[in-house]
Homo-oligomer: A and B are copies of this chain.
């Protein structure tokens, strides 16, 4: 009988997740019921949003149950099937778990994908997956940039941020990226075409505010926010009239027992600006449109993506934690 290694959530993390919050177990596979298929997961996407799913909080999705595998987008191959439309050998992408095998069902989140359409099948977890679609719809639908606008991106070397910067550039905007460390900042300007890179490390809110002001002498029209805390506050100090802040994530706050919060919301009044939360799930019906544009720009060489692939389900914990330490260089993916 086939064995299934599964990376389970054992305990709800208090602040920063620790290894004891998880457990890697080996379990036998259950039999497939009618309408189900067996997925051999090859890659799992590791995303900041997963930290939120570990909390027992009312959110857009139920919390990961204790004792269940950590929920993640995965890509893999159908290995056995009692479901129409999912034949063995078919590549699929879906919201499954960090485990060797997941059970899929017709009508679930799992969809067939074609590896022949992309340079690497893992691109379905970056440019052509939720990450790329978050960047595309978050920027264009929520932030509504105009050509010539100045767009500030935090977490700019991250999976979403690096794509946002390139899309804004394609759209004719001036782009400023914030990231941690010299290596990431070099990537911002050299790989992702940001006009200016700002290294947030070692800087307080006043220093960041001044640095953004120097990079954006005419002010900031759009913020694509992935980080929160003093980085968001420094951005708010530089808003232009009627500026739009698209709130994609607040990674600096996710592991904090006592969040810093946003202390400069008064700038929204001064500048009649807005902050709007965004979630890629709202745009699933339009993913085809987004993927087509992404494919076109990628084929024209206008979008560079980087994927940071760690290997082995036994490394799931340290690989996930890279998202918070910032030690990843590109979209974080686990090869199972």
Name A's B-contacting residues (CB within 8 A).
52, 58-60, 228, 247-250, 253, 259-263, 265-279, 282
Chain B CB count within 10 A is highest, among A260, A271, A275, A278, for A275
Chain B residues near A59 (CB-CB < 8 A) = 270
Contact of A269 among B266, B270, B271, B278 (CB under 8 A): B278
Q: Within the assembled complex, what's the spacing in Å between the Cα atoms of A270 and B278? A: 8
CB of A273, distance to nearest CB on chain B (Å): 6
User: CB distance A271 to B261 under 8 Å?
Assistant: no
Pairwise interchain contact B272-A282, C-beta atoms closer than 8 A? yes
B271–A274 contact, CB under 8 A?
A: no
Contact check, A277 vs B282: say whether CB atoms are below 8 A apart: no
Q: 8 interchain pairs (CB within 8 A)?
A: A247-B265, A247-B268, A261-B261, A261-B262, A261-B263, A272-B278, A274-B274, A275-B275
Question: What chain B residues lie within 8 Å of A282 (beta carbons)?
Answer: 272
Q: Which residues of chain B have C-beta atoms less than 8 A from A260's C-beta?
A: 261, 263
Shortest Cβ-Cβ A-B pairs, 3 listed: A261-B261, A268-B277, A269-B277
User: Closest CB of chain B to A284's CB: distance in Å?
Assistant: 13
